[in-house]
Amino acid sequence: MKKNIDIGFLVRENIRKLKPYSSARDEFKGKADIFLDANENPYPNYLRSGSTGEDRSEPPMNRYPDPLQSQLKEAIGKRMSLQPKKIFLGNGSDEAIDLLLRAFCEPGQDRALICSPTYGMYKVSAGINDVQLIDVPLTQDFQPDIPSLQKAILDYSPKLIFLCSPNNPTGNAMDKEAVEAILKASTGLVIIDEAYSDFAPDKSFLDSTEEWPQLVVLKTFSKAWGMAGLRLGMAVGCEEVIDILNKIKPPYNLSSIVQEVALEQISECGPESEIGEIIAERNRLRESLTQMEGVLEVFPSDANFLLVRFRNSEEVFNKLRDQGIVVRDRSSYVKDALRITVGTPQENQALLYQIESIFTPNFSIH
């Protein structure tokens, strides 16, 4: 049986009582031709030489952007079958992580929970906000440890539980049954970070936000969508939680340019064909690496990267770097492990060649 949760009770008292900043663009709702309400420069795009400001494909940069990004939310909602009011948009999903901590965790008092090894930003963000972090490590096969989690929830009543699925850096998605057990046990919000779920859409928990008001799903346009430089991420949850995030975000957290470019990209065809290619390359890389001398283990992946354990990960890391190939050293998270992002077929080929040459004496004369 699912539990009802009182969001108003979970949120910090000062946030519940906060009267948010109301911008000029928030307060005026009607239609008008003359805007003298926001102290803007009336001359559009004067910085761009030759621009008349009448080119409709460019946002008028002299005007403040829509603080609630309604057009973009409409387009994302259509694409992902979501109601716009269930969507929060942020300057990367990292902004949502920070705002969730700030909204729900009283500094120096409330706790959040993570399951290591996982994405490092939860810990950094909790540290910045002076929120104590409880760590309940994943099991050997990188799944949530349900009995330990149930005990930790009883002992610490964490306001937020961060799960990452598919998990960074291990690559695997979390089991549905395990996540449901956590949702049932939790006394606070459960955040599932789905930065990589476009690579395993059938394992997404996005639809479950309808059923569970305590569930918040994070998504990003930085990975599969290829827009890391744009900085656009989202949180999807019940209207009450989303309203709280909107209330405390900086009023203009997404620039006109970000909204315009994202709208264009999202309205066009998505990255499906690239995703297919990346998955095929990931499987090919995994197969090749598994057979290599010096490779101890290649973990299964639902994402666009592989976590690989080497006989001597430090040597592999350094030799790859010397050849101009940068991978991520995750040996402090998982013993001897490097995290390797799937690149283009040429990049992957170069990677395999270099690794092979490390473990095969006299490889270069072949």
Ligand X SMILES: *Cc1c(COP(=O)(O)O)cnc(C)c1O
Told to check if 93 binds ligand X by CB under 6 A, we report yes
DSSP code at position 236: E
Q: Looking at the chain, how many residues does it have?
A: 366
Residue 143 identity (one-letter amino acid): Q
Site track for ligand X across 112-151, x = CB under 6 A: -------x--------------------------------
Whether the ω angle into residue 65 lies within 30 degrees of 0, i.e. cis, is no
| Gyration radius from the chain CA atoms | 23
Half-sphere exposure of 34 (CA within 13 A, CB side): 1
Stretch that binds ligand X, among 4-12, 36-44, 204-212, 217-225 (CB under 6 A): 217-225
Stretch that binds ligand X, among 27-35, 57-65, 220-228, 355-363 (CB under 6 A): 220-228
Burial class (CB in 10 A: 0-12, 13-18, 19+), 298: buried
Residue nearest to ligand X (CB): 92
Select the residue interacting with ligand X from 170, 204, 222, 259 (CB under 6 A). Answer: 222
Told to check if 195 binds ligand X by CB under 6 A, we report yes
Select the residue interacting with ligand X from 165, 233, 265, 355 (CB under 6 A). Answer: 233
Identify which of 63, 69, 59, 70 has the alpha carbon closest to the alpha carbon of residue 39: 63
Cβ nearer to ligand X, comparing 119 with 310: 119
Burial class (CB in 10 A: 0-12, 13-18, 19+), 271: middle
Told to check if 94 binds ligand X by CB under 6 A, we report yes
Told to check if 193 binds ligand X by CB under 6 A, we report yes
The answer to whether residues 316 and 355 touch, using CB atoms and an 8 Å cutoff, is: yes
In the complex, minimum distance from the CB of residue 92 to ligand X, in angstroms, rounded to a whole number? 3
The answer to whether residues 170 and 243 touch, using CB atoms and an 8 Å cutoff, is: no
Stretch that binds ligand X, among 75-83, 99-107, 215-223, 261-269 (CB under 6 A): 215-223
Told to check if 98 binds ligand X by CB under 6 A, we report no
In the complex, minimum distance from the CB of residue 261 to ligand X, in angstroms, rounded to a whole number? 15
Told to check if 245 binds ligand X by CB under 6 A, we report no
Cβ nearer to ligand X, comparing 248 with 295: 248
The answer to whether residues 35 and 213 touch, using CB atoms and an 8 Å cutoff, is: no
Site track for ligand X across 27-66, x = CB under 6 A: ----------------------------------------
- Counting residues that bind ligand X (by CB under 6 A) gives 13
Told to check if 92 binds ligand X by CB under 6 A, we report yes
Cβ nearer to ligand X, comparing 61 with 195: 195
Cβ nearer to ligand X, comparing 84 with 92: 92
Quote the tokens at residue 99.
Answer: 């705002």
In the complex, minimum distance from the CB of residue 333 to ligand X, in angstroms, rounded to a whole number? 13
Quote the tokens at residue 174.
Answer: 């979390």
The answer to whether residues 356 and 292 touch, using CB atoms and an 8 Å cutoff, is: yes
- Work out whether the CA dihedral 221, 47, 249, 246 comes out positive or negative: negative
The answer to whether residues 245 and 160 touch, using CB atoms and an 8 Å cutoff, is: no
Alpha carbon distance 137, 226 (integer Å)? 31
List residues binding ligand X (CB under 6 A). 92-94, 119, 164, 168, 193, 195, 220, 222-223, 228, 233
